[in-house]
Structure 1
Amino acid sequence: MPHTEDLAIFARVVELGSLSAAGRDLRLSPAVVSNRIARLEGDLKARLLNRTTRRVNPTEEGAAFYQHCLSILNELEQVENLLSQRTDEPRGPIKVSLPVAFGRQYVAPHIGAFLARYPQMQVRLQLTDRFSDLIQERIDLAIRIGALEDSSAIVRNLATDRRVIVAAPDYLDARGIPKAPEDLLEHNCLLLRFPGSKQYRWTLTGPDGPQTLRVAGNMDSDNSEVLLDWCLAGHGLALKSIWEIVDHLNAGRLKVVLRDHPPVADAIHALYPHGAHVPARVRAFIDFLVEILGPKPIWERALKVTI
């Protein structure tokens, strides 16, 4: 009978397309990963993977087996979650996916305090600006900002995400201050681009309702912190959440434009996979996030300028 750990390793190899990448993700050496795959193929008496110098792909049998692996691993997780309800103390590992800047600024600094409160837990943060697949990547909890497309997940609202359009004073001195939404079409707009991102369309509010503009610029990145650096350097306008730039607003390093036409606000959500039982560790982490953010988000309390 195949070992459960071997199933998890095989699934991660298929998802990442690499033995070494799966090893890094699971904190195992490539040799151990290779040996476990060989043992699994021996147990099943079937070849599961085709190996090339660049990538590992599942065979026809491997692709079919991978789907069964996901079902088995998910069922095992549900059993573990059910059993964990019998103890009041949250325990075990939790994998949390967050946007890079938000996770670094508002979550990572508090993980030590969280683990001091729940010493039987282990926290793994996945910082990425892309939308991770909760099931495929076996993520326990994801923090997402903006529109949600994963209808299969359970959602809890954490905070309002108020946004503004900003630029460095040097940029505004050189290019002028936009007075109306249409003026954005004549400016260099710094854009966040990754699969699922819609930042090239900026939706602003106004007396006649929302207005969406397709903006453009000569610089874009899949990392929000790079965009912020470019904006601070005077390279263009950026649409930014207040939580990311509150210190720069207070210090005058960034100026808000189009105050009468602010971008439509988003929300910050916690998402977790739909299931019959919510693990105690997931509930504990969500409650901790609500606690550290506060009823009025900490970045709103820190804001000292009128926007």
Structure 2
Amino acid sequence: MGTLVNMAAFVAVVEQGSFSQAGRELRQSTAVISARVAKLETEIGVRLLYRTTRQVVPTEEALIYFERCKNILRDVENAEASLTPPDRNPRGSITISAPVSFGRRCLAPLISRFCESHPDLQFRLQLTDRLVDLVKDKVDIAIRMADLDDSTMKARRLAHDHRVMCATPEYLARAGTPEVPADLLKHECLLLRFPGSTQFQWQIIEGGRLVTVPVKGNLDTDNGDVLTDWVLEGRGLAVKSVWEIIDDLNAGRLVRVMLDYPPNSHPIWAVFPGGPYPPPRLRLWIDHLVGAFQSWDPHHPERFG
């Protein structure tokens, strides 16, 4: 068992690029991580890392050994997961990636309440509106609001993300209210856009069909909260999830438009890497997440779980 613990320390150092960062990842001191790697080198009789004051560089042998160690540790974790009783209290960390607004408003409170009854679990909540690579970014679970096309991942459906097109009454009084898709080209459309996007376009439902409509605007961002700020400032039209702006809709600060041509909406998914035996901590959290969202109401997004 000691060798496995030392392997885990070695893998963390290579992945993180430093002893101190590996220590933070494993919640151990730098000295402990360094001692574990040194002991592993002694056990196998091979130098694995070149250490300087500024960096840690794997040896040629270490790069081969690193991949083998990762496979061994993954096999051990899967083997333990297949035997773990469902009522046992899992330990370890769970890294979750979620869109900024959704993570802050919906997931963070749910995680906080869950930790009260599971103190041996550690959560790392990463908030970004970008699409993350679960394997590359070492993410256990990602929340996606989209149609899924990656068959290598597993997914559990949480809820439906109902979206609307909206603007402030002041903007509509100044620029007019769009009634048909062609009218959108006459308006400032506020856009959620990421590097690599080559077109400005929205997808709407027209006569039961999904239609892509070109739009234009002077403002685009990769952050959903910024987009909300802009639409509330009267800068133009935006497509937003109901749960994000329900208070503004109820208060009259925002108005729904194009009701006969609603924006395309998507399910909300919990996505995680495929495999026969997810670790017990992930099974426990995912099951809780799915169960909690059964009572989720986008008109009252904080009141659930």
What is the TM-score normalised by the length of structure 2?
0.80
Gaps of 5+ in 2: none
Deviates more, 1:36-45 or 1:177-186: 36-45
**Residues 230 and 269 (structure 1 numbering): CA distance in 2 closer, same or farther, change over 3 Å?**
same
Counterpart check, 1:121 vs 2:124 = no
**Residues 216 and 280 (structure 1 numbering): CA distance in 2 closer, same or farther, change over 3 Å?**
same
Deviates more, 1:204-213 or 1:254-263: 204-213
Q: How does 1:249-268 map to 2 (within 5 A)?
A: 249-268=249-268
Query: 3-state SS of the aligned residue for 2:135?
Result: coil
Aligned residues: 294
What is the TM-score normalised by the length of structure 1?
0.80
Query: 3-state SS of the aligned residue for 2:206?
Result: coil
Spell out, residue by residue over 1:51-90, the C-alpha distance to the aligned partner (whole angstroms, 9 max, x if none): 998x98877766655544543443343234234x235134
Counterpart check, 1:102 vs 2:102 = yes
Q: CA deviation at 1:146?
A: 0.8
Spell out, residue by residue over 1:175-200, the C-alpha distance to the aligned partner (whole angstroms, 9 max, x if none): 22111112222222222223577993
Counterpart check, 1:248 vs 2:248 = yes
The amino acid of 1:233's aligned partner reads: E
For the residues of structure 2 that align with 1:216 and 1:36, how far apart are their CA atoms?
Answer: 58
Counterpart check, 1:91 vs 2:93 = no
Spell out, residue by residue over 1:2-39, the C-alpha distance to the aligned partner (whole angstroms, 9 max, x if none): 9223333234325xxx777666656678x669957984
Q: CA deviation at 1:104?
A: 0.7
8 Å CA contact 1:97, 1:132 repeated in 2: yes
For the residues of structure 1 that align with 2:219 and 2:36, how far apart are their CA atoms?
Answer: 43
For the residues of structure 2 that align with 1:147 and 1:52, how far apart are their CA atoms?
Answer: 47
Q: CA deviation at 1:290?
A: 2.9
The amino acid of 1:168's aligned partner reads: T
Deviates more, 1:231-240 or 1:286-295: 286-295
Spell out, residue by residue over 1:229-273, the C-alpha distance to the aligned partner (whole angstroms, 9 max, x if none): 111111121111112111111111111111100011201001121
Superposition RMSD in Å: 3.4
Q: CA deviation at 1:171?
A: 1.8
Q: How does 1:1-307 map to 2 (within 5 A)?
A: 3-13=6-16, 35=34, 39=38, 44-45=46-47, 64=64, 66-83=66-83, 85-92=84-91, 93-194=93-194, 200-207=200-207, 209-295=209-295, 297-300=296-299
**Residues 63 and 242 (structure 1 numbering): CA distance in 2 closer, same or farther, change over 3 Å?**
farther
8 Å CA contact 2:243, 2:300 repeated in 1: no
Spell out, residue by residue over 1:100-154, the C-alpha distance to the aligned partner (whole angstroms, 9 max, x if none): 1111111111223212233332222122222222223332222111122432111
Identity of aligned residues (%): 42
Gaps of 5+ in 1: 303-307
8 Å CA contact 1:168, 1:255 repeated in 2: yes
Deviates more, 1:64-73 or 1:109-118: 64-73
8 Å CA contact 1:10, 1:37 repeated in 2: no
Query: 3-state SS of the aligned residue for 1:210?
Result: strand
Structure (1 or 2) with the larger CA radius of gyration: 2
